[in-house]
Structure 1
Amino acid sequence: MTYVLDDPAKLRSLDPQDMVGLVVRLGDLLEEGFELGRRLDASGWERPGHVLVLGMGGSGIGGDLLRALLYERAPFAVTVVKDYVPPAWVGPGTRVLACSYSGNTEETLAAYEAASSAGAQCVVVSSGGQLVERAAAHGTPTVRIPGGLPPRAALGLLLGPMLGVADRAGWVEGLGAGVAEAARLLRELASEWGPGRPAAENPAKELARALVGHVPVVYAASRLAEPAALRWKTQLNENSKVYATWNVFPELNHNETVGWALAGQPEALLQVVVLRDPQDPPRLVRRVQVTREISLGAAAGYHEVLARGSHPLARLLSLVLFGDLVSVYLAYLNEVDPTPVAVIDELKRRLADA
């Protein structure tokens, strides 16, 4: 099956909207979004009591990435809400980043209205729609980003503005340099792992081949990699149209590790992928090793993906890009178009009719 991934004509027929072309633009879109965010006046955002990110699906994963990036670096908490209702503690001391690529995500619209009513200071990141209209009515500053992409392919345009606001507000040092390194590295990796690199020399294509006919189990070896594991899971769902699951060390050692003991025959359907960071603490490295030895031997396969880069943002997004490409290559091997998400479209249609 690997030859399919090296046949440009076949890939064009499977991917008429060029999802793979959008995936490899992550570095460029990140830089573009960052510059858009930096244009915003961040007055009043310098010392937030709490940062709240509102967003669903492809628009919400940027909040997860921001939270992981700032966890050990910012003197305040970042909470991501993927729901209609924000927490009861939201108030004037809260800074809210409301993200919806289309601007019409009903959960985000409801949460934004509630946060605004509670007195929170908000910024909207969107390409248009009702969210931009309501932001104008409320006088909420807005980062207007280019539209026309599937939300999950617009990650750079959604994460970038949040990083731009964070940089203008001075939340952490060196963020601009981190974005520059990440964008540069992502362009290099897009060539190294992209569709033009033959499968025999392309670890992303080889991993996709191993996942065919199996259920991917994606584990993050540390907190930094946690949102990357979630991104892998959701991209495998939407692009590859397969079921996948994810978890994170060390938490999974307190529950999921036991579940492997009596999994029985279904274990043969599972392929484990562990996302690693070169700067993982030694104790977590040992946990991964021991877990593999005592629990994961019955899986159909075990794979590790090691982050690349120096800055935490670069390392995190290198894991994201690898997973995005794996998900598209797996779609090709499954002979499905990675772009359409018919089930989500049907769900929205039925909810609109309700």
Structure 2
Amino acid sequence: MAPYIDEALLDDPDELLRKDSRQTLRALATAGAQVRESVTLTEEAGLTRLAEQDRPRSVLVAALGGSALVADVLELLAEPGSPVPVQARRNLPLPGWVGPLDLVVAVSLSGRAPGPLAVAAEAARRGASLLTVGADDSPLAEVCHRARGVHVGIGRGRENSRTSLWTLLTPALLGADAIGLIDCTPETMTEVARRLDERAEAYRPTSESFVNPAKLLAVQLAETVPMVLGDGPMGGVAAARASSMLARTARIPAAFGELPDAASQIVACFDGPYTRIGGRRPGTYDNARIRLGDIDTSTWEPRHFDTPDGPLLEEPRGPQGHPGDDIFADPYLDGPSPPQLGLLVLRDAPATPPTRESEEGRALTDAVFSTAREAGVRVMEAQAEAGQPITRLADHVATVDFTATYLALGLGLDPSVSPHVADLRDRTR
């Protein structure tokens, strides 16, 4: 049985504020301001010192938890044209090849995360160049200053790495631009800030559900066992972010993947227990076919055929409107039906002009859509608007962040406070 989401609560700004004890929605809405503040802080930190040095032989990015997306994004943007390799690392051991010719970027909001801190300390011991991002009065900042690296502070009021992503990501992007790995100037980040402001306005708490895409997605996801699929490398990074936010913020596990590699593993789930009835293929079960006039077909495009008695459905529909539900099932005797599988696809903006690769990618995504709908999977999609890669990624990140937060609140959960996470921390101190 799908969890209950209180849709009325999502349209009550005062109640949303009351349940959101640490003002997660407000923090997410500051994403554009985070970018602008971080551009200033990065300039003040003396980032030009990186550009004055010789280009590093390689770049290693250490980040984990809510900061992990920083490493993923740098890898994504650097891959097409970076003259040096960029790799992500969560923790020690530091690869043996890291030395004085390399640059290590370590990111931690508090500056105390054991993984990035240990990686930065070991890199400094080996004489590698350092770029760190985190609290000014932290062990990470101290390690960087001792190594004569560049440390960028986080400003004030940043308490949660999940809601302070752009505070952490912006200096790393500007640093990569300074040494020629990617094209991401302060002007580019200004455009990112503008896009994030637009999304914050569209997803604001006072915007009613029927015109708020994030609230609509939250309601739809609540009724499903969700999977998130990106239609390319950028969408794959956003899908990983979505899975993390759904788990950590909304407490809902969500598989994720990236096309084309994940097509088979995602589509294979369409044969499982969360589609139709126990995963059986269309036409292989014994339920009687029923007439179109007896059911509501407004939310499904069923396959049908003509007979002398009129059109008949090939798949029966249950009282909840899901294809494949048994209309004769008694919820009191048979128990509630399992939730429906849901597929959220994060689509990139169409390539301009179209290329053979982009057309093949869209064709594959459309094929996955068709297969999902035929299997009775609930399909949802979010498409980024045109812009530079980091701007399009900002589109998706804003969407999944707000969606996961509204989903948590609609389920009656505080998006920032998890008792079990607190218990785990107490037991591992």
TM-score, length of structure 1 as denominator length? 0.92
Structure-2 separation of matches of 1:81 and 1:179: 25
Residues 240 and 256 of structure 2 are in contact (CA less than 8 Å); yes or no, is this contact kept in structure 1? Answer: yes
Match of 2:392 in 1: 315
Q: Deviations over 1:158-184 (max 9, x none)?
A: 001112222333433453232111111
The amino acid of 2:235's aligned partner reads A
Judge conservation of contact 2:12–2:206 (CA < 8 Å) in 1.
no
Q: Counterparts of 1:224 and 1:321 in 2: how far apart (Å)? A: 14
2:217 is the counterpart of 1:210: no
Partners of 2:225 and 2:64 lie apart in 1 by 24
Task: Establish whether residue 142 from structure 1 lines up as the match of residue 169 from structure 2.
Answer: no
Q: Aligned ranges for residues 62-81 of structure 1 at < 5 Å? A: 62-81=70-89
| CA 258–212 in structure 1, closer or farther in 2 if over 3 Å, else same | closer
Cα distance change, pair 75–308 in 1 and its aligned pair in 2 (3 A): same
The answer as to whether partners of 1:221 and 1:284 remain within 8 angstroms in 2 is: yes
Structure 1 residue 244 and structure 2 residue 249: aligned? no
The answer to which of 162-171 and 235-244 deviates more is: 162-171
Alignment of 1:120 with 2:125, yes or no, is no
Q: Bigger CA drift: 82-91 or 48-57?
A: 82-91
Residue in structure 2 matched with residue 276 of structure 1 by the alignment: 347
- Structure 2: which amino acid aligns with 1:108? P
What is the distance in 1 between the residues matched to 2:90 and 2:345?
25
Are 1:347 and 2:418 an aligned pair? no
Residue-by-residue CA offset, 1:257-292 (whole Å, 9 max, x unaligned)? 334334564884421101111136111111111123
Give aligned pairs, total. Answer: 352
Quote the offset at 1:345 in angstroms.
3.3
1:106 alignment partner in structure 2: 114
CA shift in 2, pair 1:29/1:230, >3 Å: same
- Which of the numbers 164, 180, 189 marks the counterpart of 2:190? 180
- The verdict on how the C-alpha distance between 1:252 and 1:331 changes in structure 2, with shifts beyond 3 A counting, is same
Of residues 214-223 and 105-114 in structure 1, the stretch that sits farther from structure 2 once superposed is 105-114
Residues 255-294 of structure 1: pairs in structure 2 closer than 5 A: 255-263=265-273, 265=278, 268-279=339-350, 281-294=358-371
What are the Cα deviations for residues 177-217 of structure 1, in whole angstroms up to 9, with x where unaligned?
A: 32111111111121112212111111111110011143321
Partner SS for 1:124:
strand
Q: What is the CA distance between 1:44 and its match in structure 2?
A: 5.2
Cα gap change, 1:350 to 1:311, in 2 (>3 Å): same
Cα distance in 1, alignment partners of residues 124 and 422 from structure 2: 29
Q: 1:343 to 1:137 in 2, by over 3 A?
A: farther
Residue aligning to 2:293: none
Name the residue aligned to 1:54: 62
Report the counterpart of residue 164 of structure 1 in structure 2: 174
Q: Distance in 2 between matches of 1:45 and 1:80?
A: 22
Residue in structure 2 matched with residue 16 of structure 1 by the alignment: 21
Question: Do the aligned partners of 1:84 and 1:106 also contact (CA within 8 Å) in 2?
Answer: no
Q: Which one has the bigger helix percentage? A: 1
Tell whether the 8 Å contact from 1:35 to 1:161 is kept in structure 2 after alignment.
no
* 1:304 alignment counterpart: 381
Structure 2 counterpart of 1:97: 105
Q: Which residue pairs with 2:324 in the alignment?
A: none
Q: Tell which structure's C-alpha radius of gyration is larger.
A: 2
CA displacement at 1:51 relative to structure 2: 1.3
Structure 2 CA distance for partners of 1:116 and 1:215, relative to 1, 3 Å: farther
Unaligned runs of 5+ in 1: none
CA distance in 2, matches of 1:175, 1:68: 17
Of stretches 44-53 and 56-65 in structure 1, the one that deviates more from structure 2 is 44-53
Please report how far the alpha carbon of residue 72 of structure 1 lies from its aligned counterpart in structure 2 after TM superposition: 1.6
Q: In the alignment, is the contact (CA less than 8 A) between 2:174 and 2:184 conserved in 1? A: no
Q: Distance in 2 between matches of 1:85 and 1:346?
A: 28
Q: Secondary structure, in 3 states, of the residue corresponding to 1:83?
A: coil
2:7 aligned with 1:2: yes
* Distance of 1:71 and 1:194 partners within structure 2: 34
Cα distance change on mapping 1:111 and 1:343 into 2, 3 Å: farther
- Report the TM-score when normalising by structure 2: 0.77
| In 2, Cα distance between equivalents of 1:137 and 1:344 | 34
Distance 2:376 2:228 in 1: 12
Shift of 1:237: 1.3
Partner letter of residue 422 of structure 2?
Answer: D
For structure 2, the residue ranges without an aligned partner over 5 or more in a row are: 1-5, 280-337, 352-357
CA distance in structure 2 between the partners assigned to 1:297 and 1:116 by the alignment: 56
The alpha-carbon deviation at position 254 of structure 1 amounts to 4.7
Q: For 2:242, which of 232, 237, 246 is the aligned residue?
A: 232
2:143 corresponds to which letter in structure 1?
A: R
Counterpart Cα distance in 2 of 1:91 and 1:327: 40
Taking only aligned residues, the RMSD between alpha carbons, in angstroms, comes to 2.2
Cα-to-partner distance string for 1:292-339 (whole Å, 9 max, x where unaligned):
323564354111110124111110011000110001110111011111
Structure 1 range deviating more: 208-217 or 169-178: 169-178
